[in-house]
Structure 1
Amino acid sequence: MNMRSSRSTVTFSNAFSLLGYRGQLPAGDYDVLVEEELLQGLTFEAFRRTATYLLVLGAGGRTGRCEMRATCESDLNEALSRDRAASRSKNDSEAALSPLEDLK
């Protein structure tokens, strides 16, 4: 069985949570590791996703450690959608007009 893996980075602007894990993770950049296997018997090359992991760096006394949290693409996309919505509402609610300056 031929396997391949790819790594990408996602950015959360706000603290977020993932389905199946307790607590919230801080805002920041997170690496995502995707593993795929080659589908056999096709006349063209195609891969099927077998695993998705969010790499979470340790904090405090666990600095230097990295935890691979198993997740799925839909849960990760849902967390990113919630983050975008929270950022939009935060920006909308904090919008304010600057005071008018006296023109001389």
Structure 2
Amino acid sequence: MKYWIAFLSVLSAVIAQVLMKNASLNDLYSKRWIVFILISLIVYGLAFILQSYVFRLFPLSKIAPPSAIAVMILVFCSGAIFFGESIQIKQIAGVILGAISIYLIMT
């Protein structure tokens, strides 16, 4: 159960960042921009609440770094999948090293 909550915390942070990217594709203060920003704020609030609960369930040194790295990896993948952002070999190496670091920290 605690890993599920940690996953939801990471996922909500990723969704919030993707929503902010969507907002940035619209004119500043347009209706669509405002909607994306407001939803992003709500989802970030959820991520904050979930993360604070996750910190109660795990040692900080064991969960904070993997959570941050997981967000980085998923945001990177989201950029490529949803926004067609380019991927370079060095970035793929960084993602692989990030995944390895999550494994090493969590085991």
Same fold by TM-score, threshold 0.5 exceeded?
Answer: no
Q: Structure 2-normalised TM-score?
A: 0.29
Give 1 or 2: higher strand fraction. Answer: 1
Q: Which has the larger radius of gyration?
A: 1
Q: Structure 1-normalised TM-score?
A: 0.30
Compare relative contact order (CA 8 Å, sep 6+) and give the higher one, 1 or 2.
Answer: 2
